[in-house]
Amino acid sequence: MPLVPPPQMPLTVTDQMNRRVAVPFPPRRIVSLVPSQTELLFDLGLGERVVGVTKFCIHPAEARKSAAVIGGTKNFHFEQIDELRPDLIIGNKEENYQDGIEQLATRYPVWMSDILTLSDSVDMIRRLGLITGRKEAAEQVGREILASFAALPPVAAPIPTAYFIWRKPYLVAASGTFIDDMLERAGFRNVFGHLSRYPEITPELLRSAAPQQILLSSEPYPFGEKHVAEFQEICPEARIRMVDGELFSWYGSRLRYSAAYFRELIAE
């Protein structure tokens, strides 16, 4: 006889945007609209329940093979999502777009994260563990992340640093961003920490900020070694470094590897 899945019970929860969401528990058909949260779901052992992901959900590699690709984080294919019949959609305030989320929320339970700090990320991990029936696994991931960051040695003199995420125009991560929190924990002082979010920076502003180090992120703009000379010309005294953007900005289970990476960056 075929196995009969256990009945789903209604569960009303609050997401990180303080929205009340009624979720069938346990959810069986999940659509993830955020790459870092897709990876988390798979690491929590929920891969078989993930039926839809975005084209940017590159971790784990099998995610875009086992689940349908429903567009990008800023442009959802609504008809395709309808065909998947999700009983839970997971999104993020910053990475997704409000109109699209509101449209989906009229038809499906949509749980939203809002991540600005390490504490927010661990809170998200724990909450998703609860609503998906993976509480113990999520608690373990959270403990591992917090322990790794707690073990980072204190930095007596944080390094004045600029962190670039885009080119043409130049955009940096400033205050009120998850990256800014990661920079501080890693031992860097954000020279644009007095600005908000992701401001545009001119070469003149960069030169006057006089960072000792300029970090060029591997994402969302694919900075490469070919761009080093461009920044070296603006700030001849600064050290220009390529960094792994995923370990600075992915706020799911990938954070388990971030603290060790930061330790190596500072040691160098």
**Dist. CA 76–CA 206, nearest whole Å:** 36
Return d(Cα 30, Cα 224) in angstroms, integer.
35
How confident is the model over 51-65, as a mean pLDDT?
A: 97
Mean pLDDT computed over 35-62: 97
pLDDT score recorded for residue 238: 97
Whole-angstrom Cα distance, residue 141 to residue 210?
38
How far apart are alpha carbons 163 and 19 in whole angstroms? 32
Return the CATH architecture of domain 9-148.
3-Layer(aba) Sandwich (3.40)
Q: Do domains 9-148 and 159-267 have the same CATH topology?
A: yes
Give the three-class secondary structure for 261. Answer: helix
Average pLDDT over residues 219-233: 95
- The span from the CA of 74 to the CA of 1, in Å, is 43
Q: What is the pairing mode between strands 171-172 and 159-166?
A: antiparallel
Residue that the structure tokens 């839809």 belong to: 52
Average pLDDT of the residues of the chain: 96
Residue 224: what residue type? G
pLDDT at 128 over 60: yes
d(CA 178, CA 37): 15
Spatial CA neighbour of 84 closest among 41, 13, 33, 160: 33
Which pLDDT score, from 0 to 100, does residue 10 have? 85
Q: Is 170 within 8 Å of 201 (Cβ atoms)?
A: yes
Domain ranges of the chain: 9-148, 159-267
Is there a cis peptide before residue 169, judged by omega within 30 degrees of 0? yes
pLDDT of amino acid 4 = 58
Reported in sequence order, the residue ranges of the chain that DSSP labels E, i.e. its strands, are 9-14, 20-25, 30-32, 50-53, 68-69, 88-92, 110-113, 159-166, 171-172, 188-190, 213-217, 239-243
The string of pLDDT tens digits covering residues 131-142 is: 999 999 999 999
Q: Report CA-CA distances (Å) from 61 to 38, 42, 65, 106, 152.
A: 11, 11, 8, 31, 30
Taking the CB of residue 143, how many other CB atoms lie within 10 A of it? 12
What number is the average pLDDT over the span 118-129? 98
The answer for residues whose C-beta is within 8 angstroms of residue 19's C-beta and 6 or more apart is 112
Alpha-carbon span 27 to 184, nearest angstrom: 37
Q: Would you identify the CATH topology of the domain 159-267?
A: Rossmann fold (3.40.50)
Helix (H, G, I), strand (E, B) or coil at 234: helix
Residue range 103-123, pLDDT digits in tens: 999 999 999 999 999 999 999
Count of CB atoms within 10 A of residue 65's CB?
Answer: 9
